[in-house]
Structure 1
């Protein structure tokens, strides 16, 4: 690592020495090149560069990229109704509205147990038959658990492959990204177990009983329970809204490719025009689940400084900052708040 970025390395190490971090990785690309790749913590044998961890909503843009690849190939139209590709889908939402969290289906409509995460067809049938909670396109509400099934079933209906298989074949493979939905047994052995930064974390994340947030994050049950999230059931299932398993370097490479206009190491996956469309704000207004103003792109959040990406509950985060010219990814097994990322970013900006 170049001495210029020593403050970032020192900040990363301080998270461990202070006890705020137990297992994490940080990767940054700057000006089209990898400049930082740090890993630390964990029980023996400890974290390695290829350690995978569940990154929750950080995976949403990766799921969106699978559908956008089909848009790029002319197989899907952004403003076509979902039902054009998914017969029997009742909600009159467009593909664009699904991608931008305005489709009106922020929660699975039927209460399901944790085991339902392994039943793709069941959860997609629930969504197809659901009545939207608002007129599609009128307001946003993060589709916290449902996003990946909406996007992923569109991929499957058009291409024939599951979103996890499509990701492996068409995006992760060509761009050499170490990340996946639905891990094989060999990759499950590379996973770090997640743990709570404090025992009250699951209750805080769910919010008020009966709220939209609680309904969205609590069904199927178990998604905030470390016993479930660390299980072979969860790691082997495809729950693309929240169970991408990734390395920091894999996520940083993903955003470096988008920042470069859709071509990485000479491999073109997306046209520059589509990347520009996918990374501009499609919706700017209140988000009913997040309960704050949010700007949604086609799969990501757009921030005031022009950066775009996604954070996940628990503290993992990844994004690109076109103005400053970097792609950033932090993944953690310690489920807590985003203050760790904020401090790392402050250190990085001080170096640029």
Structure 2
């Protein structure tokens, strides 16, 4: 069923693109412009307050928290991570950690499957790991480890875990790292939407990044209660599109310069990152404006801010279409229409 709720006439073409491209399953689109909600629509067997796992979109929430700590003087970008996390062995600065330059996208030694759900197990293993490349000399997407690495720094600085910081410090309802029990009834089940484009043979480091702990590759793992209750802040954030657009609409005044640009040693393509945020790039071209910043998520969800237009964009879906490179076709028409307004 189709439920148009808010649609400023100027954005009607964007909503039509959403409607035509959404396909099976549920989805939602929300857009803010100049601090005002101009689009808030959803499709499928969803309600106004449905939330869904948005995978790597979660990384942008950690980035927003880190920027706040930098702004208030609690976090020094040039400081070694070990200043805040003494057990951390690698010679990595906070800025390198946020910019995917730390050389810690994967763990070499195999971990038990249940380690995925243990904060202490993952952070302890990462604190003792040797970087895969000299920190600062290159970059590679820290697909899952980013959440524990940055999240532990945030925890050490503030004394609060990431779940609490997201709920109390970002000031936006319906952003959850994991899923609290009280929101279970509002969570959409994820469904397989297939594969888009060619799936090249992954690099060995990417295999390690995506399959250690091995529970990461269990089919349907993101629908399990263990996944939903854990704190895996690079991958198991749950949100509504409205919450994502609200968050990024409030970040449009943020300047996010490029920190990493070029060959990605994990994704094996060209990527761009600022401090914690992804920037539009060859592997994930989510906006035509190179100054936009945000994060896509595996399967199709997307959130970003455009500081030049004042746009905050949030798109969520439970029909997961998997690709290793390129824009999700569902974004493309919406974003194209958005930038013609």
- TM above 0.5: yes
Task: Give the conservation status (yes or no) of the 8 Å contact 1:15–1:21.
Answer: no
Say yes or no: does 1:10 pair with 2:6. no
Distance 1:31 1:76 in 2: 29
Task: Give the conservation status (yes or no) of the 8 Å contact 2:176–2:238.
Answer: yes
User: Alignment partner of 2:220: what SS?
Assistant: helix
Alignment of 1:201-280 (within 5 A): 204=199, 208=201, 211-259=204-252, 261=253, 275-276=254-255, 279-280=256-257
**Cα distance, 1:56 vs. partner?**
1.0
2:262: which partner in 1? 285
- The TM-score with structure 1 as length reference comes to 0.86
Equivalent in 27, 32, 36 of residue 33 of structure 1: 36
Cα 1:223/1:27, change in 2 over 3 Å: farther
Equivalent in 307, 313, 334 of residue 322 of structure 1: 307
- The TM-score with structure 2 as length reference comes to 0.89
Alignment of 1:26-175 (within 5 A): 26-41=29-44, 46-171=45-170, 175=171
**Cα distance, 1:224 vs. partner?**
4.8
Task: Give the conservation status (yes or no) of the 8 Å contact 2:303–2:312.
Answer: yes
1:270: which partner in 2? none
Task: Give the conservation status (yes or no) of the 8 Å contact 2:179–2:237.
Answer: no
2:189: which partner in 1? 193
Task: Give the conservation status (yes or no) of the 8 Å contact 2:25–2:191.
Answer: no
Once the two structures are superposed, what CA deviation does each residue of 1:218-270 show, in whole Å capped at 9, x if it has no partner? Answer: 222333545210011111100001111111111111111110x3xxxxxxxxx
User: Alignment partner of 1:197: what SS?
Assistant: strand
Higher mean C-alpha deviation, range 285-294 or range 105-114 = 105-114
Structure 2 gaps of 5+ residues are 1-6, 281-287
Structure 1 gaps of 5+ residues are 262-274
Once the two structures are superposed, what CA deviation does each residue of 1:112-154 show, in whole Å capped at 9, x if it has no partner? Answer: 3443222100000000110000110110001001001001111
Q: Which has the higher helix share?
A: 1
Aligned residues: 321
Cα 1:70/1:230, change in 2 over 3 Å: same
Task: Give the conservation status (yes or no) of the 8 Å contact 1:195–1:226.
Answer: no
